[in-house]
Amino acid sequence: MKEQPIGVFDSGYGGLTVLKELVGQLPQYDYIYLGDNARAPYGNRSFETVYHYTLQCVRWLFDEGCPLVILACNTASAKALRTIQQLDLPRIAPENRILGVIRPTTEVVGNFTRTNHVGILATRGTVLSESYAIEIAKFYPGIEVYQQACPLWVPLIENNEHDKPGADYFVKTYTDQLMRQSPKIDTVVLACTHYPLLKEKIAAQLPAGSNLISQGEIVAASLADYLQRHPEMEARCSKGSRTRFFTTDSTEDFDNHASIFYGKPLRSTHIDL
Ligand code: DGL
């Protein structure tokens, strides 16, 4: 059978935290990861730019044979997913599918909160899109959503400063700003796939007993469920347990840095878009 991998896309490294869980929970499938590192971060970019870049990356993954693409980036899921699904997919690949990371997360958030006060930590783009507030209201109309943009966290992580003492100041700044919005927040979503690397530092700044949700496991469980409900798509996904990595920037930088996110060493290939 020709390789028909599941495509996993992120602006840079963050989606590797999701891919790690996908491969862990669903090891039988083939995967292709594409990080658009040359143009990352996406978090402060306009709607048009994020849409344009994401569409280019999705098309590349389709051309590589992916029948299904996961946008493992909240910013791309917030700003580009719906437009691509509704306007582009019917035209460019009507039989293919694209899934994001926001919906699976918002579907389960109500299982965690007891106070019905939920905090969202995300990039500025994701916060401004209001995607979390809109989606959570659909599933759990009783939940109050508080959002905090954390524009300095992705640069800290991308520059390998996330586990240094200097990062504590920036972690505290944004977690304090979130908690000042409501002391009743008992559940906080790491709504950016980079943020699991700051998880311990973030947890240390939140009140004891808070739930801190990262998305990898949730997205993997949701994909397993999706493939069970869509046997025609499941049959199209090839099962050779191969994972390949591509970056739009230097492979040397990618290979050196990516293992922090993926949990083990990897070798990437460069592509130009
Ligand atoms: N990992 C991306 C996300 O989940 C953000 C990184 C970026 O700003 O490019 O939103």
The model's pLDDT over 134-166, given as tens digits with 9 standing for 90+, comes to 999 999 999 999 999 999 999 999 888 999 999
- The answer, yes or no, to whether residue 263 has pLDDT greater than 80, is yes
CA atoms of 137 and 262, how far apart (whole Å):
32
Atom of ligand 1 minimally distant from the CA of 75 = 10
Q: How many domains does the chain contain in total?
A: 2
Q: Is the dihedral of CA 223, 127, 175, 194 positive or negative?
A: positive
Ligand 1 close to Cβ of residue 10 (< 6 A): yes
Residue 261 lies in a domain: yes
Domain shared by 144 and 234, yes or no: no
- The answer, yes or no, to whether residue 259 has pLDDT greater than 80, is yes
Domain shared by 60 and 136, yes or no: no
Residue 2 burial (CB < 10 Å; 0-12/13-18/19+)? exposed
Residue 89 lies in a domain: yes
CB 21 within 8 A of CB 69: no
Domain shared by 59 and 92, yes or no: yes
Q: What is the pLDDT of residue 160?
A: 87
Residues with active-site annotation = 73, 192
Domain housing 90: 6-100+217-270
Residue 107 lies in a domain: yes
Q: What is the pLDDT of residue 158?
A: 84
Tens digits of residue pLDDT in 6-57: 999 999 999 999 999 999 999 999 999 999 999 999 988 999 999 999 999 9
CB 69 within 8 A of CB 101: no
More confident residue, 1 or 112: 112
Residue 237 lies in a domain: yes
Q: What is the pLDDT of residue 76?
A: 96
Residue 178 lies in a domain: yes
Q: What is the pLDDT of residue 159?
A: 85
Domain shared by 64 and 113, yes or no: no
Q: What is the pLDDT of residue 32?
A: 98
Residue 1 lies in a domain: no
Residue 110 lies in a domain: yes
Domain shared by 194 and 126, yes or no: yes
CB 220 within 8 A of CB 25: yes
Query: Residue 205 sits in a domain of what CATH number?
Result: 3.40.50.1860
Report the percent of the chain where pLDDT is more than 90: 97
Ligand 1 close to Cβ of residue 6 (< 6 A): no
Pocket test for ligand 1, best of 42, 120, 219 (most atoms within 8 A of CB): 42
Amino acid letter for position 203:
A
Domain shared by 225 and 185, yes or no: no
Domain shared by 250 and 169, yes or no: no
Q: What is the pLDDT of residue 1?
A: 61
Q: What is the pLDDT of residue 120?
A: 98
CA atoms of 197 and 83, how far apart (whole Å):
30
Of 170, 193, 214, the residue at which a domain comes to its end is 214
Ligand 1 center to residue 81 CA distance, Å? 14
Q: What is the pLDDT of residue 74?
A: 95
Domain shared by 231 and 96, yes or no: yes
| DSSP class of 140 | -
Domain shared by 122 and 187, yes or no: yes
Tokens of 145: 């959503």
Residue 164 lies in a domain: yes
Domain shared by 157 and 89, yes or no: no
Ligand 1 center to residue 183 CA distance, Å? 27
Domain shared by 125 and 252, yes or no: no
Domain shared by 210 and 221, yes or no: no
